[in-house]
Amino acid sequence: MAELRAPAPPRRHLLSIADLERGDVERLLDTARSLAASLDREMKKLPTLRGRTVVNLFYESSTRTLASFELAAKRLSADTMSLRSAGSSVDKGESLKDTALTLAAYDPDVIVVRHPSIGAPQLVSRLTDAHVVNAGDGKHQHPTQALLDLYAMRESLGRLEGLQVAVVGDVLHSRVARSLVQALALVGAETVVVGPPTLVPRGIEALGCTVSHEIDAIAVADVVYVLRMQRERMGDSFVPSLREYTALYGITPARVRDGQVVMHPGPMNRGVEIDPRVADSGAALVTDQVRAGLVVRMAVLYDVLTVAPVEARERVEVG
């Protein structure tokens, strides 16, 4: 890319699960767990990131992700501010590049980016000196969602290695599915992706999963991970109707066996991809996932700022 700054020392970002190794995932999950324990024990606020600034730059609507990043930064005593595209200069046509450069002028330590286009967080990381955390880019990656899902699975089932996970639904349009499949492969779990042929992209096996178009494939899974079915997909005839989708792939009580847990990244379409009786049952880990989101995002902010590569660590100590 053109006209970039002189190369800065390497900084830790969290742009994609593909950049992580197994050890990184385990360290992040362990950090999240100890943060959860200390939040239980002590006050709700830790002084760890006092004096640091975390900026949330959100170009897409979001409830739980934005809320949990804001709260995570506050629980770690960081200063935080959130910028949404609506009502900002983005509305006036400002490019991502100019917005990033403007924010960079305030010297934020971390920029959390959500954007409808793949690669937007990478662009921000090249344009600024901040540590960048991807909070969802296009249909590409949503790495903190994958990490919080692993955290919730591990807390509930006690392990990740060897776990059987079925990811059900619209994989084609899902950054959650891409990140999760990669993350599960990293920690030694086995994943089958289940959905209609029109919504499972050709070549997805390369991420480390198998593919089935039969809902029966979920029977052997320890975890049934249900993806949101977006109504706007009807216009493009990916499926003929939500009714038929629900009949073929909806997660109903009859399709969930004893001992299975059911997860969903939210927001749920009750009665479409997930039967309300399943969503409200003891098998559902949905609220566990939301709670995990807070501690995992705290761990991510802590990790990118403190567990730096050697060169960056030297720079932090000097500065």
Instruction: Give min distance, CB of 37 to another protein, in A.
Output: 35
Helix axes 175-186, 22-41, angle to 10 degrees: 100
Size of the site for another protein (CB under 8 A): 28
Minimum separation from the CB atom of position 95 to another protein (A): 7
Q: 27: helix, coil or strand?
A: helix
Given the complex with another protein, which of 74 and 126 has the nearer CB atom? 126
CA distance 217 to 211: 9
Binding track, positions 176-195, relative to another protein; x by CB under 8 A: --x-----------------
For 114, half-sphere exposure in the C-beta direction (CA atoms, 13 angstrom radius) is: 24
* Binding residue for another protein, selected from 96, 103, 183, 274, defined by CB under 8 A: 96
Find the binder of another protein among 207, 218, 229, 292 (CB under 8 A). 207
SS3 content of the chain, % helix, strand, coil (to 5): 45, 15, 40
Q: Does 41 bind another protein (CB under 8 A)?
A: no
CB-CB neighbours of 257 under 10 Å: 12
Q: Which of 97, 213, 233, 313 binds another protein (CB under 8 A)?
A: 97
Instruction: Rank residues 65 and 141 by Cβ distance to another protein and give the closer one.
Output: 141
Position 117 contacts another protein (CB under 8 A): yes
- Segment (H or E) for 110: strand 110-115
139 contributes a contact to another protein by CB under 8 A: yes
Query: Is residue 1 near another protein by the rule CB under 8 A?
Result: yes
Residue with tokens 């949101």: 228
Least Å distance, CB 84 to another protein, is 18
Give dist(CA 51, CA 183) in Å, integer. Answer: 32
* Closest among 245, 169, 297 to 181, alpha carbons compared: 169
Binding site for another protein (CB under 8 A): 1-3, 95-97, 115, 117-120, 122-123, 137-141, 173-175, 178, 201-204, 206-207
